[in-house]
Amino acid sequence: MLFKLGEPAMNTYKKSLLIGAASLTVLLSGCALETKQEAELRLHGKSANAAESAAANQPAAGKLTSIQFYVPSEKENRISVIDVVSSKVVGNIPVSESPSTVIFSSTMREAYAANMHSSTISIINTQTLSVVKEVPVGPMPHGMVLSPDNKTLYVAAVADQFVYLVDTKEGKEAGTIDLGTGAKTNYLALLGDKLYISDHENHKVYIVNVKTKTVEHTIATGKIPRAGKVSDDGKTLYVPVAGDRALEIYNTADGKLLGKIDAIDGATDVVVTDNGQTAIVTGMEGSSVTFVDLQSYKAVKTLTGLPGAKHISFNRQQTKAYVTLSGSNQVAVIDTEKQEVTDRITVGAQPHGIQLKALPGIGGSC
């Protein structure tokens, strides 16, 4: 389960705010509904430029079975929709001010975008690529996670001590979880009845019981914990800590530090392979991506020249990793076997989060 932890205290926000699917046969390409050549022809043709192609193919971009990445652009107040087959932007969704992260319902019919400067959540219809409702929440919403039944959206707000609950059916706020005076929230994850919440200013991770809405345990981390991952069994927590230039690994039961990998400048986000052998860590200040061997707890390779490398997501088969470059208007595509950048996709200015939209069983090797 993806665990998104804290965004930088070193980039502390100074705004004054109180702030489903038809049955299909998968082609031999393994990536789904058409070949890459067919996708290229459909999406662009030989003469259309990128903007014209995206506009012309907006309806096709809303196909429920399409395998895509959604990428929010903070500066342009929109979400770029990337077709995984062609590595091209095929649609854009206008949202509110400074969208940061986006997540999907399990049916992929709805997406939810956190808009920091408007302090709202945009509820998006992924077939029409339009916002159907704006839900006010706390100041500067950032990290989000959705309950398995799709009924409750948990939202971390950077500028206060609460996690906000949104009733997705009613489209309105439905209560809060209070982490205590002085607490700050940023990214979170839900596994079972445990909600993991980062505090990038107080250098902690709170573990909250969602049934009782109380903090059961607190893990003291290194300085400025950012985005991370909780293992599927809930036993291990991987935390990039920007202030300590490291990836820290914890036992969630007792908060004990199991290991620490140093020399990752501006450690920001992390993904871990299904076999648990490799972690890939982004470094925003270091404009880098580092591959880590989790058996030896050593960094094995660092890719540089990736401006403001922020958030990262695998494709379905984990053969590629996609990284938002917040210091540019691009998403870097990394071959995880060769450990090298193979492509850069132009999106909106200052891309922030990135999330894969893919129905279970659809998309093969995408």
For residue 291, the domain's CATH number is 2.130.10.10
Query: Which pLDDT does position 361 carry in this prediction?
Result: 72
For residue 183, tell me if it sits in a domain.
yes
For residue 362, tell me if it sits in a domain.
no
Q: Structurally, how many domains does the chain consist of?
A: 1
DSSP 202-218: TTEEEEEETTTTEEEEE
For residue 113, tell me if it sits in a domain.
yes
For residue 19, tell me if it sits in a domain.
no
Question: Domain range spanning residue 51?
Answer: 2-13+26-357
For residue 72, tell me if it sits in a domain.
yes
Q: Is residue 350 within 8 Å of 331, Cβ to Cβ?
A: no
For residue 21, tell me if it sits in a domain.
no
For residue 210, tell me if it sits in a domain.
yes
Q: Which helix (H) or strand (E) holds 50?
A: helix 50-56
pTM (predicted TM-score): 0.84
Q: Around Cβ 258, how many Cβ atoms within 10 Å?
A: 13
pLDDT, averaged per 10 consecutive residues of the chain (366 residues), comes to 43 37 31 39 40 52 91 97 94 97 96 97 97 96 95 94 97 96 89 91 95 95 90 91 96 93 95 95 98 96 98 95 97 98 97 94 62
For residue 365, tell me if it sits in a domain.
no
